[in-house]
Structure 1
């Protein structure tokens, strides 16, 4: 019997039928599911246990998904997938601004949901694991410097003016894409493909909001907008 533990997922969804359907479907794919019916219960579970990924509905009683995502981001970089019942942009933008990594619009096909989960978990491998500092080893990467911005590609540590900056796995992956090609304009659809694993035209708002969060953390002038094309990292 394998001793590899299942990926632990916290689902916060107030609709009982949807909560049950998502739980059963994802358990069939091997995920270890924990479910909550409201935001405050979800926050309590998040604080009590360790999860590899959170799926948060936007409309929740007590504490909505946007507020819950903000509370999570105060202490954790765990991947967050938002679920919205409407695709008009209001919930999407609010969720991404709160720190979510991606979103899906309900009703969502199970195959699409699993694909978004797998993409988020792949990105999470870019984040250093929590715990004690590892023993020093021969570095396999290098430190990239752009002014006072430093990126340790081996240790996956980002700092500005010598101070470490906490980035979510998605933010870190986007920054690494920019750092690999400084001064080169990266189009939104290229970032959607390489970071979010969208094999089709995805919602470019996830890119725009992620860049906005990076600017808040790294400095507003660090990533330049090239109108009509995309973004580039200033040399």
Structure 2
């Protein structure tokens, strides 16, 4: 266990290749994590029905319902971090996975150490870390409210808006830096992604998804603007409370 009070993070691996699933499970368990394995979507649903998970590793190529469909379904109901496993050079699958709500992706074949590093990074960003790292007062912009502690976003009508871990972290970084041009590299640093976070191009995908949720007209953004050769700037006035 990470400490005497906090249970180990629970990881669900959805992978029909027993060798790959076993290799991942061995690495996670050696790192002190609790691991469950599902070979398909039906087994995944059964496990989710009886246990809560801190992160899900989801293969795209699965028997029956594929990983992209499972990711879309999971994201409609929960904010749990999702890492997708994709075949080498299947760029379309990776981009689609990010667009429908995955937080990160890893291409096969992969290094177990890289997977563990990315899992640890996402768990930190999903506020699995001790309470002091989660402190922060809610912020407001244009009627919206973002709560860093509960990790929730509410629209001007006070309706909660679903967000992925990566989307929430990026929006929070923008809210902490209003009116300042932030490069993609800075965004990776501000969201604690480091070397284990999403690649630069995936930042653009996540920003696009954020715009779909907060902009009156996502095709003509006024709150979250692109700065040519610079990065992005959040134009809204941000207040605490």
Pairwise mapping of residues 3-18 of structure 1 onto structure 2 (< 5 A)? 4-18=6-20
Q: Is 1:159 the counterpart of 2:154 in the alignment? A: yes
C-alpha deviation, 1:153, in angstroms: 4.7
C-alpha deviation, 1:177, in angstroms: 0.7
Q: 1:3 to 1:92 in 2, by over 3 A?
A: same
Q: Is 1:183 the counterpart of 2:185 in the alignment? A: no
Task: Tell me the equivalent position of 1:228.
Answer: 229
Q: Is 1:60 the counterpart of 2:62 in the alignment? A: yes
Stretch of structure 1 that moved more, 202-211 or 117-126:
202-211
Quote the Cα distance in structure 2 between the aligned partners of 1:116 and 1:159: 28
Normalising by structure 2, we get a TM-score of 0.83
Q: Is the 8 A contact 2:121 2:196 kept in 1?
A: no
Normalising by structure 1, we get a TM-score of 0.85
SS of equivalent residue, structure 1 residue 175: helix
Task: Tell me the equivalent position of 1:77.
Answer: 79
C-alpha deviation, 1:198, in angstroms: 2.5
Structure 2 unaligned blocks of 5 or more:
237-241
C-alpha deviation, 1:88, in angstroms: 4.0
Quote the Cα distance in structure 2 between the aligned partners of 1:23 and 1:14: 13
SS of equivalent residue, structure 2 residue 12: strand
Q: 1:210 to 1:226 in 2, by over 3 A?
A: same
Alignment length (residue pairs): 224
C-alpha RMSD of the superposition = 2.5
Q: Is 1:147 the counterpart of 2:142 in the alignment? A: yes
Structure 1 unaligned blocks of 5 or more:
130-139
Residue deviations 1:140-187 (CA, integer Å, cap 9, x gap): 754433322233456544322132323233222111110111121111
Stretch of structure 1 that moved more, 62-71 or 216-225:
216-225
Which of residues 152, 165, 183 in structure 2 aligns to 1:169?
165
Q: 1:41 to 1:200 in 2, by over 3 A?
A: closer
Quote the Cα distance in structure 2 between the aligned partners of 1:12 and 1:154: 29
Quote the Cα distance in structure 2 between the aligned partners of 1:42 and 1:230: 38
Which of residues 91, 94, 102 in structure 1 aligns to 2:96?
94
C-alpha deviation, 1:56, in angstroms: 0.4
